[in-house]
Chains A and B, each alone.
Chain A
Amino acid sequence: MAEIVIDNLRKVYPGAKGQPDKVAVEGASFTIHDKEFLVLVGPSGCGKTTTLRMIAGLEDITSGSIRLDGRLINDVAPKDRDLAMVFQNYALYPHMTVYRNMAYALELRRVPKDDIRRRVENAAKLLGLLEPDNLLERKPKALSGGQRQRVALGRAIVREPKAFLFDEPLSNLDAKMRVETRAELSRLHHALQATMVYVTHDQVEAMTLADRIVVMNGGRIQQIAPPLEVYHRPANLFVAGFIGSPRMNTITGTVTGEGDRVIFTEKGTDHPIRLAMRGDLARLLEKHLGQEVILGLRPEHLADARDLTDPDPGATFEARVDVVEPVGAETWVYLRSSAHQLIARVPHAEPRTDIGHTLHFTADLSRARFFHPGTGESL
């Protein structure tokens, strides 16, 4: 049982001589619910790791508060927080066997020897450290990267801590191990029913593992929401661009009213893309008549008009095909309108010989998002 409440957390590193102070985290507030898998995601330097280390107690807090099950832990030593952390480069004790690496925390807590053995062996079984090879008596240097990662997980699991903290635990693994371990982590979370806080720069890890995602940039929280909401309803242009690959298309344009229709017109060209809005979207954009807005559209919501039985003429425009990238199950088509580069994900297994041709593409406007060009905030 653990709920971690973070309120207005701030971290400032004093600058070196003559340098300004560096703000690493600015006013972060969020709650990690009991049994939740919360992922902090963002580009490097966004403050996600600093936030995690403040929760762990490895970093001092400049201001704000962290509460664990209602108890203020700002000044509680890491060893008294009952949190376990899995480090990016495993941080296994090189001079101890796998068994002792996992048992060490329990030895320090004077857990009886039999209990230690039972708990270490249970965790080892859960993580496949006993079968096919018993790794318990090996030293870390005799293990592969994936095995070391599992020992690091085991070291956290045997403690039965209030919450698990993960600092980019998969970033040192090769692509195949990363996918396997990711699935294993998901399974572990369900098996242990534990509170987990996970830091990554990898949006795929964030999307696949998280119950909720906290997107950070420049020390500030950009959005806190479940993965699919972050994906489909990004709070601002940063989140829209950071989550999703290939990234969301953005088109700058102006909103005008023509009769009872609301029209979005691409900016900066004589042959603009013109899209006619309907329904809720029309009502939303009516408030911005005559203003500039940014349209965001996921690549999978842009279709080759030839593939549709009844393409909406108000959402169809012409664009030249620049590059075609078949990635297997689908194909990424890079388009050029007269002012913007766009990407469409089309479900063809075979690349088409359309390069250089101008074709019709249809946007699924029901999935379109609009952003304020100045603030970047979602409208």
Chain B
Amino acid sequence: MTAREKERLRTGLLFISPWLLGFAALTLYPLLASVWFSLCDYSVLTEPVFLGTENYRELWRDEVFWLALRNTVVFAAVSIPLGTALAIGLAVLLNQPVRGRGLYRTIFFLPSLVPAISLAILWQWLLNGSVGLVNEVLQWPLSLVNLVAGTSLRAPDWLNDPSWALWGLVLTGLWGAGNAMVIYLAGLQEIPAELYEAAEMDGANAWQRFVNITLPLLTPVIFFNVIMGLIGSLQTFAVPYILTNGGDGPGRSLLFLATYIYQSAFDYWNMGYASALALVLFLLILALTLVVVRFGEKRVHYAGR
């Protein structure tokens, strides 16, 4: 290395040092420390005591962990496809040349700007079993069905019914589809108009154009959104935590891995166990992301690149 190169390196490192320091202190150190804590008995107040793999063996036997894992995976498996379909559907609709299109786009995007706390409090009311707006809307079609079919269906008490709470949370999550929708809109606008005209001349109807042109050319955006959605939904915490006023829902139906990490760490002060859970969550996200990436490799069309 010449003197000049050394000087350049020094200058470069100096410029990037604020980020490096922040990363080391706030990301890298906690990351490594949590790996170490996961092998210890650690209650924050006392020094960590090395336990080896005890936390992980405990975890394997812990029914609550398996419940949290199941809830987390079910929530991701339901909310990602639903959210993707809703966001693409909205984007396609809002890409039509209609009057006031900008206004509609804004309206559908706005909810995704609402902070998680406000969103959760709002949805507590919307999903309220007796006075909630959701059930108000459901009541009319349900009573019609009851009248015709002679059934006695009732709108669920979303947040207090163990078999419905998770679905209530899925509904809440769909409210944030505006974020992905905007990205899909940008993706739609990248698709050249003459491809649709060529398909129209070739004899494709609107549905065939959507399936054969829009979807394939949107795959890079879908791929990106699914990965982001996967990472986000596996870490879901704030909204269910507030929806349940800091609990984990009726019959622990809103207990997620992130919730359980929080409970272990700050309710039970079992930092070692929480660290082991966090590491498992990290590996789960990593593994599922790799699966999606591998699955997408052959199916994503990067046009013109």
Contacts and interface: CB of A to CB of B under 8 A. Distances in A.
Contact of A94 (B199, B200, B303): B303
Given A87-B194, A91-B192, A56 B201 contact: yes
Interface stretch (A76-84, A198-206, A268-276, A282-290): A76-84
Given A94-B303, A104-B212, A109 B195 contact: no
A141 B217 CA distance: 14
Interface residues of A, number: 24
Contact of A89 (B194, B204, B217): B194
Interface in A291-333: none
A108 B301 contact: no
Contacts of B195: 91, 93-94
Interface string B167-199: 000000000000000000000000010110111
A77 B90 CA distance: 26
A93 B213 contact: yes
Contacts of B212: 93, 104
B196 to A, nearest CB: 9
A84 B208 CA distance: 18
Interface string B47-61: 000000000000000
A110 to B, nearest CB: 10
Contact of B197 (A91, A93, A104): A91
A79 B204 CA distance: 7
Interface of chain B, main secondary structure: helix
A94 B199 CA distance: 12
A105 interface: yes
A273 B64 CA distance: 106
Interface string B191-230: 0101101111111110010001100110000000000000
A105 B192 CA distance: 19
A155 B194 contact: no
B254 to A, nearest CB: 41
Contact of A79 (B192, B202, B304): B202
Interface string A82-99: 011101110111110000
B146 to A, nearest CB: 44
A95 B216 contact: yes
A104 B202 contact: yes
A134 to B, nearest CB: 22
Contact of B204 (A84, A92, A108, A141): A108
A58 interface: yes
B201 A84 contact: yes
B203 A105 contact: yes
A93 B198 contact: yes
Most buried by B among A85, A87, A92, A94: A94
A83 B303 CA distance: 27
Contacts of A94: 195, 217, 301, 303-304
Given A94-B303, A95-B303, A79 B200 contact: yes
B201 A85 contact: yes
Interface in A44-88: 56-58, 77-79, 83-85, 87-88
Given A94-B217, A94-B304, A108 B194 contact: no
A169 to B, nearest CB: 12
A205 B6 CA distance: 62
A79 B203 contact: yes
A155 B202 CA distance: 9
A274 B213 CA distance: 66
Interface string A190-234: 000000000000000000000000000000000000000000000
Contacts of B200: 57-58, 77-79
B190 to A, nearest CB: 11
B296 to A, nearest CB: 14
Contacts of B192: 89, 91
Contacts of B305: 141
Given A94-B301, A94-B304, A104-B212, A79 B194 contact: no
A89 to B, nearest CB: 7
B299 to A, nearest CB: 10
A108 B213 contact: no
A99 B305 CA distance: 20
B301 A91 contact: no
A56 B202 CA distance: 11
B198 A108 contact: no
Contacts of B194: 87-89, 91
Contacts of B208: 108
Contacts of B197: 56, 58, 78, 85, 87, 91
A155 B198 CA distance: 10
A56 B216 CA distance: 26
Given A89-B194, A94-B303, A105 B202 contact: yes
Contact of B203 (A88, A89, A95, A108): A108
A266 B201 CA distance: 54
Nearest to A139: B301
B301 A85 contact: no
Nearest to A84: B201
Contacts of B304: 94, 141
Nearest to B192: A91
13 contacts: A57-B200, A58-B197, A78-B200, A79-B201, A84-B201, A85-B198, A85-B201, A87-B197, A91-B194, A93-B213, A94-B195, A104-B202, A108-B208
Given A87-B194, A95-B216, 14 more contacts: A58-B197, A58-B200, A58-B201, A78-B200, A78-B201, A79-B201, A84-B201, A93-B198, A93-B213, A94-B303, A95-B217, A104-B212, A105-B202, A108-B203
Interface of A: 56-58, 77-79, 83-85, 87-89, 91-95, 104-105, 108-109, 141, 155, 159
The 5 closest A-B pairs by CB, nearest first: A105-B202, A95-B301, A94-B303, A91-B198, A91-B194
